[in-house]
Amino acid sequence: MRAVSFSADNHITLLHNGAAFFPALIAAIDAARAEIYLETYIFAADATASSVQQALTRAARRGVTVRVIADWLGSGHQRSLSLQQEFEAGGVMYRAFNPWFQRGVARMHRKICVVDRDISFIGGLNIIDDMVSDDDLRLPLPAPRWDFAVSIRGPLVATIHLELEAQWMRLGEMKLLARLQQFKRSRVRRPGSAHGPALAGLVLRDNLRNRRTIQRAYLQALGHARQSALLTSPYFAPGRKLRRGLEEAARRGVQVTLLLGVGHYRLQDAVSQSYYPKLMKAGVRIVEYRKTTLHAKVAVIDDDWATVGSSNFDGLSLLVNQEANVVIKDADFSRTLRRQIEAGIADGDAVAADAFDNLSWRARAWHGAAFFLYRLLMRVIAAGNRE
């Protein structure tokens, strides 16, 4: 398990929703001169995704090397086939991650792009329109999906590029010796600086060398928290260690607030709510967001630690899937992200401290059944995870 390796002198910009993210991403792609890597869980078939796809194709046709990875399950089998055909016709190299679960059950849930080894994007946004639901029904949303990404310039981009390059190689046909050499390179920690503005580090989760790195980063930040911790996630079903970290921080006087997305999946809501009573008893404040789909996986702790990325607070993100977050130690960035989270909290519904004191037996039974089914499913998935 690795600690976060930070580098200094990074220029990081917070991008709220697709309205900020997609124009910045397309502008970077259109300015590319040599190379583009892009990874996404969902590469949809809508107008927004088409604009990104066209920009990638334009880059390839002017001689830029363009490599795209999309998750087979997240994008769907038919969409993966059409992407393969359309990208190939446009000169873009494309690979689907784990088709037909050939690599076990783990999914590639990361959302990352690196252009010319100069600028990188990382966060929670898939390549999909903000106003369209990301489930199979493709229902329109009442307001833009609430999500975040960051653009990064500086030394950290080299580290992110190395990871994307390694991912591309892993998905291709690599001989054993090449795999061993790539693994050795991945274990070499690039020297980081402990001084300077915009300290930032890449934090990954996979099933090889970074199994609990993202969870450990959260636990360390919560363990050092002094005043406040704002954490946001659309799916909330944390393991015992993370729950304990939240509770212990709240008990020692830290103002811990969870902003959680609800209303998308009834079973998921019940699983999340089964954790509420114990957390609230410890002093954790919980706010449910219903204005639209909350998809952000972000946090700010004490205005000097922040993270933006793809990892939810559930078993799939923390124990099974490939995830990528960036951890940032910069007061200005943290304050900017804090204001955005506080705006989301203002739009949400705070859960009353006594809301679960007098639940009906039916509600209690539903929460208990949902928790049992979730734990059973996670055990089955974890047992079948052989990535």
Residues with a catalytic annotation lie at 109, 111, 116, 295, 297, 302
Cross-strand partners of 28: none
Please state at what angle helix 47-61 crosses helix 17-30, rounded to 10 degrees.
10
Whole-angstrom Cα distance, residue 234 to residue 338?
Answer: 17
Taking the alpha carbons of 44, 46, 52, 55 in that order, is the dihedral positive or negative?
Answer: positive
Tokens of 203: 């934090």
Provide the 8-state DSSP code for 313.
B
Specify whether the CB–CB gap between 298 and 149 falls below 8 A.
no
Torsion, Cα of 320, 329, 127, 343 (10° steps): 110
* CA 58 remoteness from chain centre: 28
DSSP H helices in the chain: 17-30, 47-61, 72-75, 77-90, 156-171, 176-187, 213-224, 240-251, 266-274, 276-281, 315, 331-346, 361-383
Nearest C-alpha neighbor of 56 from the set 47, 48, 65: 65
Whole-angstrom Cα distance, residue 272 to residue 253?
Answer: 24
Specify whether the CB–CB gap between 227 and 255 falls below 8 A.
yes
Tokens of 257: 């607030």
Specify whether the CB–CB gap between 168 and 176 falls below 8 A.
no
* CA 168 remoteness from chain centre: 19
C-alpha angle 333-335-341 in degrees, rounded to nearest 5: 105
C-alpha angle 183-189-193 in degrees, rounded to nearest 5: 160
